[in-house]
Structure 1
Amino acid sequence: MGVLIAESVDAWAQVITESFVPLSLGSVDGSFRGSVSAHALGPAVTLTEVRTRGFSVVVRSARLVRAEPRDDYLFSLHLDGEGAVLQDGREAGLPCGGGALYDASRPYQLRFPTDTRQLVLQMPRDQLRDRVGRAEEFCGRALPAEHPAVRVLAAYVRELADTSDGLTGALRAELGATAVDLLTTALRAVAGEESGAPSGRAALLAAMRAHVRDHLADPRLSAEALARRHGVSLRYTAELFAADGTSPAAFIRAERLRAAHRALTDPRYAGLTVSAVAARYGFADRTTFTRAFVRAYSRTPAELRAAHGSEA
C-alpha cells in the first residue's frame, strides 16, 4: 500500500493496527503525528517504514492478545531518534542502526520519547521459528548497531526499503526471504555465538552435515534427530538440504553408503563381515544394506570386496 498519514492520536491507533497487529496507545504527545509506508515482500512478509513526531507509547496488551490473537514476529530496525521495546520483563533500547525482535502473540510495549524513524520487518511466526527454533528467547533483547552481523542486516533492510517499489513481486518475495535469513543470522550471532550456534543457512547446513558424518553408526540418526539437535523445525531442515539438491534422509543414506564403500575396500577392515560393515554404518540389516548398495554402486558389497581383493 502507499503512505498512510495520521494527523491525530485516534487516527494513529487505527493506522498502526491496520499496518501491523491490533494495538492501542498509551501516553501520547498532543501534537503527535505519524506515517507508515508498507512494502509487501511476498504473501506474508512486510517491510514498513514508520515515522513519528512527538512522544508516544504503543501497547499490545494482554487483553488485545486474548481478544485478537496474532502469530507474527516483528523486528524494528531503528534509524533515528530514541526508542525501546519491552517484552517478557526485558527492555531493549533501540540505538540508531540497531534493533529488537518482539512477538505479537504475547504482550509488548514500544516507547518512543522523541521523533523517530524505523523500519519494521514483520513475518509469520513459523518462518522465524523454523530458522532459529525457540525464537521467543530472542524477544526483548537488543541487537547492537556495532555488531558486524547487525550492520549487514541493517544495510540490507534499508536498501530493500529504498528499492522495493521497483522490484517484481517474485523478486520482492525472494529478497524478503533473504531478509528473514539475515535476521536469523544476526539473532544467532548476537545471542548464540557463545554457545557455538551456527549462524546462517550455510553454516547450519554444514553443522548438520558434519553431525551426520560423526554419527553414521547411530541407528536413530534421522531428519527428525537432526532438527532436534540443531533447534529448528523438520520443515526447515528439509528446506536446507533441498537447497543443496538432496534431502536429509538421502544425505544420511549416501554418507553411510560412502563410508561402507571405503571400509569394504580398506585392508584394515578385511576382517569385518559384510553384516558387520552394515551395522558399523547404521544399517539395520544386511538385506537393506545390500539393496541400497546395489542401487548406489551397481554391485553388491560382496562383489566389491571380491573385486578389490583380486586387484590387491
Structure 2
Amino acid sequence: MLARNTVDTTVLPPAERFGMWLELLARTSVPVRVESAAAADFAARAEFTDLGGFEVVGYEYPSLDVSRTRKLIRRSDPELYILALTTSGLGMSSQDGRRSEILAGEFTFYDASRPHDVCHYASEPGRTRATSITALIPHAALPLPPKRMAALYGGRMTGSEGLGALLAQFLVQVTGHPEQYHAADAGRLGAVGLDLATTMLGRHLVAEDAVPTEVRRRALVTQVQAYVHRHLGDATLGPQTIADTHHISLRTLHRLFEGENTTVAAYIRDLRLARCRRDLTDPALRAQSVQVIAARWGFGDKAHFSRAFRAAYGMSPQACRDGDPVTARDVNDLASRVNSTQAD
C-alpha cells in the first residue's frame, strides 16, 4: 500500500479542531494564512501521499479562505508549483492579477513562490464539506519554460475532457485507493502524474513544442492505455481503432509501443486474458460459462481464445476454472506484469 499520512480534526472536540488545522498548515512547506466561517466546528481531513517528489494531498473541509503572503514566502519558499483539482464545491482563485471562479471538475494553478489567494466552500445542497486534490510540483521538476508559466497562474483548466480528464482520474484513483498499489510503485506513479501534468499545462500554454518529446510520448502512451482499459470488452478494439480515436497514424501508434517492450495487439490480448483468468477463478461467476466470460472481454472466437489462454498460462480455460482459485496476490502479480508500462 502507498504510504499516506492522514490528519483528521474530528478526533478532537469541536472547539479545538480549527486550531489543529492551523497547526497542520503552519508545519507544511507552504505555510498560508487561513480563515473559515466554520472555525467554531471545523470538521476537516487531509491525506498526504508522497509519490517520489510528486506529492498529492486530498482535502475535505467546510470552507476555507487561504492567503499566501510575501511574509510567509520569505519564511519558507520550497519553490513549488501547486496544481489543484476541485472535486466538489465552488472556489475562487487569484494570483498576479488574475481572478477566476473554479467549479467542481476544474483545475487551477499557482506558483507557491508568489502571493496568491484561494477560497473554497461547499455549495451543493446537502453537502457540508468541500473537497479537492492538490499536487505539489517542484519548479525544477516541471520541464516547461518558467517565464511562460505566469500565463496560467490563477486560471482555470478543465478536468473533464482530454488530458485534463485523464489527470483528474489519475489523482482521484491514487488518493482514493492507495491500497491498490505497492509502496514501491510510488516513484513510477509520480512520474506518470508529472508527465500528465506537464503535457496538460503545456497544451494550455499553447506551447506543446516546449514539452520534451519523451514526456509527450509517455503521456500519450498513458492516454492510449487508459482507453484500452475502458474498451477491453469491445471485440472491434484494435490498433487501427485506437489510432483513429487518438488522431494519430497506425505507424505512430506502433512506434509509441516500441518503448514499452510490447506491441499494441499483445498489450490488448494480455489484458483481456488477465481479465478472463480473474473471472474464471471468481467463485461468484461460477455459473457463467467460459464462452460468456471470454466474450465479455472481447474474445468472440472460442477456439482462438482457448489457444491464446493455453499459450499464456499453460492450461486450458476450463482447467484454470477447475483448479485452485488464484489468490489476490496472484492476480496483483499478474496485473503488474501485464501493466508493467502503466501506472494503474
Q: TM-score, normalised by structure 2?
A: 0.53
Residues 49 and 57, structure 2, Cα contact 8 Å, conserved in 1: yes
2:205 aligns to what?
191
1:75 aligns to what?
83
Which residue, out of 1, 4, 23, partners 2:7?
Answer: 4
Which residue, out of 47, 51, 58, partners 1:37?
Answer: 47
Q: What is the letter of the counterpart of residue 31 of structure 2?
A: P
Distance in 2 separating the partners of 1:97 and 1:19 = 26
Residues 72 and 104, structure 1, Cα contact 8 Å, conserved in 2: yes
Distance in 1 separating the partners of 2:110 and 2:140 = 14
1:164 maps to 2:146: no
Residues 164 and 172, structure 1, Cα contact 8 Å, conserved in 2: no
Map 1:87-126 → 2, pairs under 5 A? 87-114=95-122, 115-126=129-140
Residues 58 and 131, structure 2, Cα contact 8 Å, conserved in 1: yes
CA positional deviation for 1:90: 1.1
Tell me the secondary structure at the aligned position of residue 21 of structure 1: coil
Change (3 A) 1:103 1:84: same
CA positional deviation for 1:68: 2.1
Q: Which has the larger radius of gyration?
A: 1
- State the Cα deviation string for residues 31-88 of structure 1 (Å, max 9, x = none): 333210111101x2211110001x3201111111122222111111110111122111
Name stretches of at least 5 consecutive residues in structure 2 with no aligned partner.
Answer: 123-128, 218-257, 260-344
Residues 19 and 38, structure 1, Cα contact 8 Å, conserved in 2: no
Distance in 2 separating the partners of 1:162 and 1:169 = 15
Tell me the secondary structure at the aligned position of residue 83 of structure 2: strand
Residues 31 and 72, structure 2, Cα contact 8 Å, conserved in 1: yes
1:137 maps to 2:146: no
Distance in 2 separating the partners of 1:145 and 1:77 = 8
Q: What is the letter of the counterpart of residue 164 of structure 1?
A: P
Residues 149 and 189, structure 1, Cα contact 8 Å, conserved in 2: no
Residues 65 and 119, structure 2, Cα contact 8 Å, conserved in 1: yes
Change (3 A) 1:21 1:198: closer
Distance in 1 separating the partners of 2:153 and 2:5 = 29
2:187 aligns to what?
173
Q: What is the letter of the counterpart of residue 30 of structure 2?
A: V
Which residue, out of 53, 56, 66, partners 1:47?
Answer: 56
Distance in 1 separating the partners of 2:174 and 2:29 = 19
Quote the sequence identity (%). Answer: 20
Distance in 2 separating the partners of 1:75 and 1:164 = 20
CA positional deviation for 1:201: 4.0
Residues 86 and 131, structure 2, Cα contact 8 Å, conserved in 1: yes
Distance in 1 separating the partners of 2:36 and 2:54 = 29
Change (3 A) 1:164 1:66: same
Q: What is the letter of the counterpart of residue 116 of structure 1?
A: A
Residues 84 and 91, structure 1, Cα contact 8 Å, conserved in 2: yes
- State the Cα deviation string for residues 184-217 of structure 1 (Å, max 9, x = none): 111122331xx66466744867xxxxxxxxxxxx
RMSD across aligned C-alpha pairs, in angstroms? 2.7
- State the Cα deviation string for residues 121-165 of structure 1 (Å, max 9, x = none): 11211111x245433332211112344221111111111223334
Distance in 2 separating the partners of 1:157 and 1:196 = 22
Tell me the secondary structure at the aligned position of residue 26 of structure 2: helix
Map 1:1-312 → 2, pairs under 5 A? 1-6=4-9, 8-19=17-28, 21-30=30-39, 31-42=41-52, 44-53=53-62, 55-114=63-122, 115-128=129-142, 130-134=143-147, 135-192=149-206, 197=209, 201-202=213-214
Q: TM-score, normalised by structure 1?
A: 0.58
